[in-house]
Chain A
Amino acid sequence: MQRTFRLWWKTAVILSAFTVIAACSSGEEENGDSNTSDETEDSSDNEGSEGEGAEGLSGDFEIQYFVGGYGDEWWKEVIGDFQEEHPDLNIIEHAGPNINEEMRTRWVSDDPPDVVYIDGAGSSETQMVEDNQLMNLTDWAEDIELEDGSALMDSFIVEPNTYDGELYSLPLVFDTWGTWYDKAWFEENDWEVPTDFDHFMEVMGTIQEEEGIEPFVTTGQYPYYFLRGVLNPAFGSAGGDELLADLVAGEEGAWTSDETLNVMKKVEEMASAGLIDSGYAALNHTQSQMNFLLHENAFIPVGFWLPNEMENDTPEDFQYGFTPSPFQDEGEPYVVVPDLRPLAIAENAENPEAAKAFVEFVFNREYAQLFSEYTGAIMNISDVDLTENPNVPEYLQTANEMINDPDQVEIHSLPYPMSADLEEPISDALVALMSGDITAEEFTERAEEAAADYRE
């Protein structure tokens, strides 16, 4: 009996000790656990030492990238090429649609990957800069050159975001929002592509009458689609970069300014004319996109990734047409306000040499061509001629041509992405306005209150 008791006691102690050890295991082990399905590890077996100089890079090199509507083919190819160039480097990829959430514990415990592509839900460049998580690239970026010897900093379509004049990321993807329509359906019915807001209202009215549908749809669960896809260009058209900067910063009076109110009046006009899908507030982005593909609606504001994201659901006779959101006044050019998706190096990167080499490697016009082929979108590098590339979709060639023609399209930009702390309450008010529950004036007051809270 005594022996049995001792056996029980020992087992209990061992079990308890095991539990404690398992729960309190080191950060290294935890990180090991997190490297599961989304990761692929290079077969080379390099341990320990950090890379020294771009020529002889070695050691572990970790990269985190979000995989959304653009897929991951481009990343795989670029990383594969980089690996070929640096065979001694052990590249560890952290990728997937929820990678920002999955990697959060790594960032919190100051053990981040070396390079991060900031995109998708749960990522915020502004917050990362505020939390001192990104390396200051200001001086280093000045010396980066493209394959033809031109300076990278002079080759962006849109300038990088800066924070008090300091640079913490390099804009990789020129993510442009706009309004989509079915080109084939429009041609069949002789509907015109809207050229300004009044024309937009006229075309939507015609479609509403002829088809008996509410022509405009967006996702109410993620109102930032409308905010970024329609309102930002409208604000840009009404007040230029200055107004956009004030709105993003939540400056006093920006959200109640006349320019802002005029834009919001247009939204109110759309809502009161019954042009917005009455069920939009319940729809998530894929549901709204599905409705659009099924001709339940005629217009939808989404980014360049729409055709790629909905590839498997697109009807055969559907032809994607893209126009910058027509919210500008008559006689004014279209406006696009790109969302830049940047690449950054972690402040606590364990292999900064490899990280810098990778960032330099990625910014290349050949990869910019490839990016457009794989994703149907544009990399933020100028002078990339897509017209000769037969693998680039037609809508992208048209859009690219428009964007590069300043008479047709003005490009305005945000100084930095709007903080979620401001965007969320404004999105709530936006849903209420688009549902017809509040007026444009009430919207601007609510937005101004949200901005005041944000400033505190």
Chain B
Amino acid sequence: MVQSKKERYGFLAFCLLPTFILFLIFTIYPLFSGMYYSFFEMSGSSSNKEFVGLANYVKLLNDEIFPHTIWHDYFLVITKVIGIMILATFFAVALTQLRIKEAPFYRIVFFFPNIMSIVVIGILWMFIFNPDLGLINSGLEALGLEDWTKAWLGDPDTALSALVLPSVWAGIGLFMLMLMGGILTIPKSFYEAATVDGANGWQQFWKVTVPLVWPQIKNSILYIVITTLNGSFIIVQVMTEGGPDNSTQVMGSYLYQQAFQRNNFGYGATIGVAILILSLITVLLLQKFMKREKIQY
């Protein structure tokens, strides 16, 4: 049966229109209203607001804490990308190539943190890092390394690094599955041919696996970057509230503090605009640098 043009457009409208309207309401409208509020001074607790032009942006440029929050965010982005991608790739290759009998079990174990709420993960790791009762300090003491024990989340020198561990732990499973999906689509004959040509396991990984799962790797990296820039504030809020002395403050948690704790809603909206701009620039740059020709063997 041949579809008429009208029918085709009708079907497309049926599929796209509701989603598009939802997108307008829940993404575009908040985006522009956020930008709009960044030009006002308002508490966020009432409808009173005063137009202040670019004053919030000038304040942002002179804010001593904000540059630190940008660095903290990118520190988390870099460490999470490296940590998650290395471990997720390692586990994905191990579970697909090494013929481990318990692979399905490990797959579930590694994916398990992904079905937990990030708030629960944060609370769990707060207990692990607890200076007096936590697993890490207790473990170090049991190993006779008392000198190494410290208040991991209470020391400005270690608090931010301490947040990397739960973030990586919580992220591995999803990306491991994505990469496993990619690896499993590579025909076995490619590896057989590589073996015949004398390539060892390491060479096979770099010359066969990585090029062929590059789209998944690229998407994973982009996803980690975006979710970290937009969502790292949850783990920060739960575990440290940005402290001690702003040493773990990220852009999102600073936005929250300004908008909802310090009643500077307009300024919070300005920080939100800055996050949007920085995220866009980062993603565009990443896409440029990660662009590769599609490889087909």
A residues neighboring B (CB under 8 Å) = 1, 5, 8-9, 11-12, 15-16, 19-20, 23, 101, 104, 107-110, 122, 124, 127-128, 130-133, 220-223, 277-284, 287, 291, 296, 419-421, 424, 428-429, 431-432, 435, 437
Contacts and interface: CB of A to CB of B under 8 A. Distances in A.
A357 to B, nearest CB: 26
Interface of B: 1, 3-4, 6-7, 10-11, 13-14, 17-18, 21-22, 25-26, 43-48, 126, 129-132, 150-156, 159, 240-241, 243-246, 257, 260-264
B260 to A, nearest CB: 7
B48 A16 contact: no
Given A108-B46, A431-B245, A5 B6 contact: yes
A127 B263 contact: yes
A110 B45 CA distance: 10
A283 B241 CA distance: 11
Contacts of A110: 46-47
A124 B45 contact: yes
Contacts of A20: 21, 25
17 contacts: A1-B4, A5-B11, A11-B14, A12-B13, A12-B17, A20-B25, A101-B260, A108-B47, A122-B261, A128-B45, A131-B48, A221-B243, A279-B131, A282-B130, A428-B243, A428-B245, A437-B156
B7 A1 contact: yes
A283 B154 contact: yes
Contacts of B263: 124, 127, 419-421
Contact of A107 (B46, B126, B130, B243): B46
B interface secondary structure, majority: loop
B153 A12 contact: no
B140 to A, nearest CB: 14
Contacts of A127: 43, 45, 263
Nearest to A112: B46
Given A124-B263, A221-B240, A421-B262, A12 B18 contact: yes
A432 B151 CA distance: 14
Contacts of A291: 132
B154 A279 contact: yes
B75 to A, nearest CB: 19
A424 B262 contact: yes
B11 A8 contact: yes
A432 to B, nearest CB: 4
B246 to A, nearest CB: 6
B115 to A, nearest CB: 24
Contacts of B25: 19-20, 23
B243 A420 contact: no
A124 B1 CA distance: 67
Contacts of A419: 263
A282 B131 contact: yes
A421 B11 contact: no
A431 B212 CA distance: 51
Given A110-B47, A282-B152, 16 more contacts: A1-B3, A9-B14, A15-B18, A16-B21, A19-B21, A107-B45, A124-B263, A127-B45, A127-B263, A132-B46, A279-B132, A282-B159, A428-B243, A429-B245, A435-B154, A435-B155
A223 B245 CA distance: 10
Most B CB within 10 A of own CB, among A133, A220, A277: A220
A112 B242 CA distance: 31
B46 A131 contact: yes
B154 A280 contact: yes
